[in-house]
Structure formats: C-alpha cells, structure tokens
Chain A
Amino acid sequence: QVQLQESGPGLVKPSETLSLTCTVSGGSISTYYWSWIRQPPGKGLEWIGYIYYTGSTNYNPSLKSRVTISVGTSRDELSLKLTSVTAADTAVYYCARALYLSGYWSLDYWGQGTLVTVSS
C-alpha cells in the first residue's frame, strides 16, 4: 500500500520560500508521476504541478515563476519549493501520485496534507 506523507514548516514569513517534502513509502517513486495540489482554508483545490521520476516537470502557469518540484536525493522523497510567498499562499498542501495508465490520468494516492500559513 503506497503511503505519502508531507512535512515541513507550518509557518512561513511573507516574501520567504515555502519548502515541503513528500515522503513515499510502500512503493517506489520510479515509473510514476507525482503531483502537488493545494487548498486554501475553506476553499477549493488547485493543481500546482507534477514531476516524473526522471525529473521532468509540468507546472501551473499561475505559479510557474515561483515553483520548483524536484525528486529528493534519497529517491523516496519529493520536494516543493514556492518562492516569494504571500498570505494568498496559505493553504493545505497535498502530494499525490499521478497515475498515467492506458492514456488516462488519475490522482490515486494522496498524502494527508500539511497546513502552511504565511504570516509575519
């Protein structure tokens, strides 16, 4: 059973960089895509982007200038970095496995999410 766990600081100051890690257990990062999604408190879901295990990425244009998704050195970790954060970046951040099978996508495994608050 694949499990994902997000971790990182729960509080980030405005203009600083948000950094989160997603640890994957029960399976390998290899041969899959891995996505980040966020949800501001009380609001809907926003797709941030994804990374293939080889390192190729695809980002939401609304965040592209500020976001970096990478595979960790341990090979069972993914990371998300979002620079120059503002209060609008306050959200629960989720990592999820993006399965591409028979020409179709699905986000089939999700982490529990981690709340990041941007405040001084």
Chain B
Amino acid sequence: AIQMTQSPSSLSASVGDRVTITCRASQVIRNDLGWYQQKPGKAPKLLIYAASNLQSGVPSRFSGSGSGTDFTLTISSLQPEDFATYYCLQDYNYPWTFGQGTKVEIK
C-alpha cells in the first residue's frame, strides 16, 4: 500500500497566519490526492480534490498544490474556524490511504 506521510503532525498558529501542511507519498500518485478537514466529533469534510481543485463552497483561503509525490495544503490567512485536524488521502490506487493527520492548534 502507498504510505502517506504528513508533516508536521501538529502546529500552533495564530489567526491571520499563513499555514502550510505537506503530504508525501511513498510512490508517484500523479495528482490523485485530496485534503480533508476534521473537527472534533465531526465527520471529515472535503476541501481539495485532484491536488489543487477547491471543492464547491470551501473558502478561497484554502489551496492545494503538488504532483507526483509531494503535495501542499495552504491556508492563506488562518481563521478561528480553521482550527482542526487535516488529512490527505491518495486515491491513485487501492487501497486508498490517508496521511496520519496534522492538528492545527491555536497559539
């Protein structure tokens, strides 16, 4: 199975900060990667699909980039509602695999 490694595992940031989360695949996955946000006690929510496509209704401060093995989720200006855990998911081949998650906490 393809291993997805996210970094950092956690970070502390302030409202207004620019935040970057990375995800590295153990092999090339083209751009078959999504980003999901999960708040405590809630289901994950799709933010980005196909590495860089913003899901309808998701604020434009979220963006994704990358191709091959290295991917990035960027939040351009962190808002209070963005404090959550973020997961990447590769859907290039089976089994689909998630990164271990990055928890974004309030500084």
| Interface size range of chain A in the complex | 20 to 34
Q: Is the CB of B36 within 8 A of A107?
A: yes
Total A-B Cβ pairs within 8 A = 61
Q: B36, B96, B98: which has the most chain A beta carbons within 10 Å?
A: B96
Please tell me which one of the listed residues B1, B34, B87, B101 contacts residue A106 in the complex, with CB atoms under 8 A apart.
Answer: B34
Which residues 22-81 in A have Cβ within 8 Å of B in the complex?
Answer: 37, 44-47, 49, 58-62
In this complex, how many residues of chain B approach chain A with their Cβ under 8 Å: the count is 24
A112 on interface, CB distance cutoff 8 Å: yes
Which secondary structure dominates where chain B touches chain A?
A: loop
Residues of B within 8 A of A104 (CB): 32, 49-50, 53, 91
A46 shortest CB reach to chain B, Å: 7
Question: Which chain B residues have a beta carbon within 8 Å of chain A's beta carbons?
Answer: 1, 32, 34, 36, 42-46, 49-50, 53, 55, 87, 89, 91, 94-101
13 A–B contacts, CB within 8 A, in A order: A44-B99, A45-B36, A47-B96, A59-B95, A61-B95, A104-B32, A104-B49, A104-B50, A105-B34, A105-B96, A106-B55, A107-B36, A107-B89
